[in-house]
Copies of this chain bind each other. A is one copy, B any other.
Amino acid sequence: MSVSEMRDTLVAELDGVERLIDSIGQDADVPLLGQLLRHVLQAKGKRLRPRLAFMAARFGGFPIERLTLLGAAVELLHTASLVHDDLVDDAETRRGVAALHRIASPKAAVLVGDYLFAKSAALATATGSLDVMALFARTLMSICDGELREMSNANDDDRSLDQYYRRIEGKTASLFVAATEGGAILSGIGSVGEQAFREYGLNLGMAFQIADDILDFVGTPEVLGKPVGGDLRQGTLTLPAIWALEQLGDGVLRRAVDSKNPSNELLDEAIRFVGSSAAIPFAQREAEEFARRARYALAPLPEGPDRQALEDLATYAVRRRY
Interface residues of A (CB under 8 A from B): 30-33, 84, 87-88, 91-92, 103, 106-108, 110-111, 113-115, 117-119, 121-122, 124-126, 128, 130, 133-134, 136-138, 140-141, 143-145, 147-149, 151-152
Contacts and interface: CB of A to CB of B under 8 A. Distances in A.
27 contacts: A30-B145, A33-B145, A33-B148, A84-B114, A87-B106, A87-B107, A88-B106, A88-B110, A88-B111, A91-B107, A108-B151, A110-B110, A110-B113, A111-B144, A114-B117, A114-B143, A114-B144, A115-B145, A115-B148, A118-B143, A118-B144, A121-B137, A122-B134, A122-B138, A125-B133, A125-B134, A128-B130
Given A31-B152, A33-B148, A152-B32, A140 B111 contact: no
A140 B121 contact: yes
Contact of A106 (B106, B141, B148): B106
Q: How many copies does the complex hold?
A: 2
Contacts of A134: 122, 125-126
A14 to B, nearest CB: 24
A117, A130, A138, A147: residue with the most chain B Cβ atoms closer than 10 Å: A117
A84 B103 contact: no
Contacts of A92: 107
Is chain A's binding surface mostly helix, strand, loop or mixed?
helix
Nearest to A136: B121
Given A122-B141, A130-B130, A84 B106 contact: no
A149 B84 contact: no
A231 B144 CA distance: 31
A130 B125 contact: yes
A110 B125 contact: no
A201 to B, nearest CB: 19
Contacts of A145: 30, 33, 115
Contacts of A149: 30
Contacts of A91: 103, 106-107, 110
A106 B94 CA distance: 13
A130 B33 CA distance: 28
A169 to B, nearest CB: 13
A141 B28 CA distance: 11
A141 B112 CA distance: 11
A111 to B, nearest CB: 5
A129 B91 CA distance: 39
Given A33-B148, A108-B151, A118-B141, 6 more contacts: A33-B152, A84-B111, A91-B103, A103-B103, A115-B148, A121-B137
A149 B111 CA distance: 10
B103 A148 contact: no
A121 B143 CA distance: 13
The 8 closest A-B pairs by CB, nearest first: A118-B140, A122-B137, A88-B107, A115-B144, A121-B137, A118-B141, A91-B107, A32-B152
A142 to B, nearest CB: 8
Contacts of A117: 114, 117, 140
Contacts of A118: 137, 140-141, 143-144
